Amino acid sequence: EKLTNIRNFSIIAHIDHGKSTLADRFLLHTKTIEERTFHDQVLDAMDLERERGITIKSHPVRMHYDADDGRTYVFNLIDTPGHVDFSYEVSRSLAACEGAILLIDAAQGVQAQTLANANLALHQKLTIIPVINKIDLPAADVDMCLEQVEELLAIPRDEVLKVSAKSGMGVKELLEAVVARVPPPETDPAQPLQALVFDSVYDVYRGVVSFVRVVNGSVKVGESIRFFNTDLTTEVKEVGYFSPGMKPSASLLQGEVGYIITTIKTPGDIHVGDTITGYLRACKQPLAGFQHVRPMVFSGIYPIDTADYEALKANIAKLRLNDSAFVAQPESSIALGAGFRCGFLGLLHMEIVQERLRREYNMELLLTYPSVIYHVFMRDGSMKEVDNPLHMPDPSHISHVEEPMIKSQIIAPATYLGAIMNLVMDKRGICLKTDNVDHIHVMITARLPLHEIVLDFYDKLKTVTRGYGSMDYEPDGYETSPTVKLEILVNSEPVDAFASIVHADRAVYRARMICERLREAIPPQMFKVAIQGAVGGRIIAREDVRQLRKNVLAKCYGGDITRKRKLLDKQKEGKKRMKEVGNVNIPPEAFVAVLRAS
């Protein structure tokens, strides 16, 4: 059975090409929100999103569209993030849709993420509506975009719509195209309830809110439902849809997108990708879940104030509910105390998680040097996966190490080709081929170590291409690489939090940098303290902390007793905040200085 009045679709694009602005325009056009309550990017609810101007989470929203054929359609629009690290969010959203609007910035043209997102949509067999946005810009080059769409996406140019999300030009035609081109959802009336959980958030007052796409059947308040994969039974307390805020309704019907709140309060009990079915009438099979995402980058997260540990633990659990690609396991460090070893999809993902913990939960954190998953081959023939320098085996037992590689697609104006090739080489990569995108742009396919991407490749690419280069990447096997564990010793004792896994050629440079930063950040000590960098027991860098000559009280000349006490108290307080390593008090600032990126 076809649900002819419903259209479920997403907007996909490279970052900044105008997804959120177009979503805003749709909301205004369909009067889902009123002009006077409107502010830009209403769907980007998190402060962080508005500040960085990127969409991190997808927000589904329901609209009523009065079409030219005289009928009113229900549109469920799912806004998606555009950044390379978040393609798992995009594919999750796409699983709830039948169609996708593929937006292309008229001045920028097709970028690496445009291609990657288009491929995700094609893979899920969605109908794609190609749209060129920002045609109001003086720099708009619609012909270039049409040429690229034909060349790279093999879409005929007469299928492409042209709009300005900002001015509203062409938006009405686009809404009509959604009605005409996106297929209505299909459902099987003989089936019991089957709803796909494509996202979830934790709400302090209501507990876990699941975002669902109802594929078959319906769900009402008061009913008992079952989560298929976790086999948890619960009662429905509220259902509704987003308009754009949460609007409760009596039920959610087949083909619809909305939310379900149950009696479940524990974030970990609900898994994104699970199928919700009826308790009395259950489905036999779950819906096809999502491709399981595996974190590729790892780092330790520690509270600067050890008293924050319990709060950090609770907040990490809440964040994980909202972000299934983020994993965390308790870990403890001699220098930093109790914390978590966390896994992320990429560097931006790591930064965002860190920012969200800092900002939404207001806590100061330390992150250790990022690592990828190394394959460590032992002399006895076995292989270990290592993503943490603490677990790196003794070098005398290692035969060789392999590191993960990625295949990257970089799109940029041809004038930057030389600079990009140099950058790829500098980052230990090789260029596999270059293709023409149109008469100005080229697409470079390169193979690089993932670790370099995690460090700063993306920032460097933006710099050498003056912002015109874009990239996307996918895992591409492993490669043998001279990889070592770099240890930092303070007063001859290794500080676990400062250890890192690095390429042998970079070890000396990194060791010197850390030693210098530590020398600057550690206050003068009563005795001479050496800070050393070592690989496999061999010292490769050294700095000395200044020695303290005068006693703090010396300048008081034994006089004013209250002043003396104050000084002593101050010193005590300072001590409390410090971590002691090898008889040396290291202030939190030193950890921050050493562990800051780059």
Closer to Mg ion by Cβ: residue 199 or 274: 199
Nearer of residues 134 and 451 to ligand GDP, judged by Cβ:
134
Nearest approach, Cβ of residue 263 and ligand GDP (Å): 35
Question: In the stretch 381-420, what mask flags binding to ligand GDP with x, by CB under 6 A?
Answer: ----------------------------------------
136 marked ligand binding residue: yes
Shortest reach from residue 415's CB to ligand GDP, in Å: 24
Chosen from ligand GDP, Mg ion, none, partner binding at 341 (C-beta under 5 to 8 Å by type): none
How would DSSP label each residue in 252-283? E-TT-EEEEEES---GGG--TT-EEEESSS--
**Residue from 3, 16, 52, 592 in contact with ligand GDP (CB under 6 A):** 16
How many C-alpha atoms does 198 have within 13 Å on its Cβ side?
A: 29
Strand blocks (E) in 324-397? 327-333, 337-344, 365-367, 374-378, 383-386
- Which residue bears the tokens 């479920």? 8
Strands (E), 67-163: 72-79, 99-105, 127-133, 161-162
Q: For 91, list phi and psi in degrees, rounded to 5.
A: -65, -30
The answer to whether 512 contacts ligand GDP (rule: CB under 6 A) is no
In this chain, which of 9, 10, 12, 20 binds ligand GDP, going by CB under 6 A?
20
Please check whether residue 176 is in contact with residue 67, taking contact to mean a CB–CB distance below 8 angstroms: yes
Instruction: Indicate which of Mg ion, ligand GDP, none lies near residue 21 (CB less than 5 to 8 Å, by partner kind).
Output: ligand GDP
Q: Which residues, 50 to 89, sit near ligand GDP by CB under 6 A?
A: 53-55, 82
Q: Applying CB under 5 A, which residues contact Mg ion?
A: 19-20, 55
Show contacts with ligand GDP in window 539-568 (CB under 6 A): none
**Positive or negative torsion for Cα 155, 157, 161, 164:** positive
The CA distance from 341 to 497, in Å, is 12
Q: Which long-range contacts (CB under 8 A, 24 or more apart) does 277-280 make?
A: 277/192, 277/193, 277/194, 277/195, 277/225, 277/226, 277/228, 278/192, 278/193, 278/217, 278/223, 278/224, 278/225, 278/226, 279/223, 279/224, 279/225, 279/226, 279/233, 280/224
How near is the Cβ of 6 to ligand GDP at its closest, in Å? 24
Do the annotations mark residue 20 as ligand-binding? yes
Asked if residue 164 binds ligand GDP (CB under 6 A), the reply is yes
Phi first, then psi: give them for residue 393, nearest 5 degrees. -65, 165
Q: Which is nearer to ligand GDP, 19 or 318 (CB)?
A: 19
Under the criterion CB under 6 A, does residue 162 sit at the interface with ligand GDP?
Answer: no
Q: What does 165 interact with, of ligand GDP, Mg ion, none (CB < 5 to 8 A by kind)?
A: ligand GDP
H or E stretch at 247: strand 246-249
Q: Consult the annotation and say whether 349 binds a ligand.
A: no
* Residue sitting closest to Mg ion (CB): 20
Q: Is 216 marked within a binding site?
A: no
Q: Which stretch binds ligand GDP (CB under 6 A): 12-20, 399-407, 437-445, 582-590?
A: 12-20
| Binding residue numbers for GTP | 16-21, 133-136
Question: Where along the sequence are the contacts to ligand GDP (CB under 6 A)?
Answer: 13, 15-21, 41, 53-55, 82, 133-134, 136-137, 164-166
